[in-house]
Amino acid sequence: MVTKMLTSLHGISTSHGNLITDVRLAKEAGFDALEIFYPKLVRYLANGGTTQKIKKLIADEGLSISFLSALDRFERHEAGEKQQLLAEAEKITREAVELGTDTVMVLPRNGIDHYSDEKIMDIMSENISAIAAIGEQHGIRYMIELPAFTKFRTLAQAREVIRRIGKKNVGVVVDFWHFYASGATPQDVADMDKEMIFGVHFGDGRVPKNPQAPWDETVLRDCIPGEGEIDLRAWSEAVKTTGYNGAWSIELISPRLWELDPSLLTKDLFSSIKKYAF
C-alpha cells in the first residue's frame, strides 16, 4: 500500500505575506498542510489574532499544520541568553500545543562557531536536552535544522547529540539544500533511521564555486526547485527509502522570487514537488 505524501507550504516561501494569506495560498495551490513561519505567527498574535482562530481557519480549509518554525538561535548558552532561550522555548512549545501541531523546528546560527568542535557539541547537547525536557511535558518534539554555513551542520553531530541526551522527542529535518551544501549525499539519507527524521524541507540551490565566497542563502537558494544543482529525484527517493511518512515542506528563500505574484509562485512550487518527489 502506497502512503499519500503529505505536502506542506513553508511560510517563508511567501516571505512578505501574512499568516492568513498563507492559509489561502496553501489551499489554492493544492498543499495538504502549512508549516507556520514563526515570525508571521508572532506578528499575527501581536495584532489581535489568537492561536484558536488560526487553528480553526486552517482546519476549515481542510489543511493541517505540519511544523512550527522555528525556535531560533538555540545555541545561546551564556546565563542571561540561555534564560531567554528557555523562556522562548516554553512559549513556542505552548503555542504549538494550542495550534495542534506536535513538531517545532529548532535552528542554530553562528553564535558559537568560534568554539572548538568539542565545546560546540557540549553546548548543543546541553541546550537541546533542556528544550526537549520542556516538550516532554506537553507531547511536543523538536526537529533540528543543520545549517550548512555553521559548524554544527552534519548528521554525525546530530546523531551524537541525540545519543548523548537520550530523548525520543528530538530528531532532524532533512533539508535538501543544507544537507547537499554540507557535503551529505542521498545515500546518507537512505541510511538514516526513519525514527530520526521528523520532517523534510524540499528545496534546491547551489554552493559557492569559490570556497572563500560568502554563504548567502538568498543568493545560493535563488531558484525554483529543479533549477539548481541538487538532484531532487535522488534525494526524494532516498527519503522514501527510509519509510518516512511525514510532511514534505517546500522551502523557498529568494528575495527575487518573493516579488512575484504569490498565488502563481505557490502553484509553481507545488508543481515542482509533484514533479520531483511524487
DSSP state of 33: E
Report CA 81 to chain centroid distance, whole Å.
23
User: What is the per-residue pLDDT across 154-194, written as a single tens digit (0 to 9) for each?
Assistant: 999 999 999 999 999 999 999 999 999 999 999 999 999 99
Question: What's the pLDDT at 1?
Answer: 37
Burial 189-200 (b: 16+ CB within 10 A, else e): beebeeebbbbb
Nearest-angstrom CA–CA distance, 151 and 179: 13
The answer to whether the CB of 60 falls within 8 A of the CB of 27 is: no
Closest CA to 167 of 195, 136, 198: 136
Question: What's the pLDDT at 209?
Answer: 86
Question: What's the pLDDT at 21?
Answer: 98
Closest CA to 249 of 191, 187, 169, 177: 177
C-alpha cell at 68: 512550527
Closest CA to 163 of 133, 200, 196: 196
Average pLDDT, the chain: 97
pLDDT tens string for the chain (278 positions)?
345 799 999 999 999 999 999 999 999 999 999 999 999 999 999 999 999 999 999 999 999 999 999 999 999 999 999 999 999 999 999 999 999 999 999 999 999 999 999 999 999 999 999 999 999 999 999 999 999 999 999 999 999 999 999 999 999 999 999 999 999 999 999 999 999 999 999 999 999 988 788 899 999 999 999 999 999 999 999 999 999 999 999 999 999 999 999 999 999 999 999 999 99
Assign 53 to helix, strand or coil.
Answer: helix
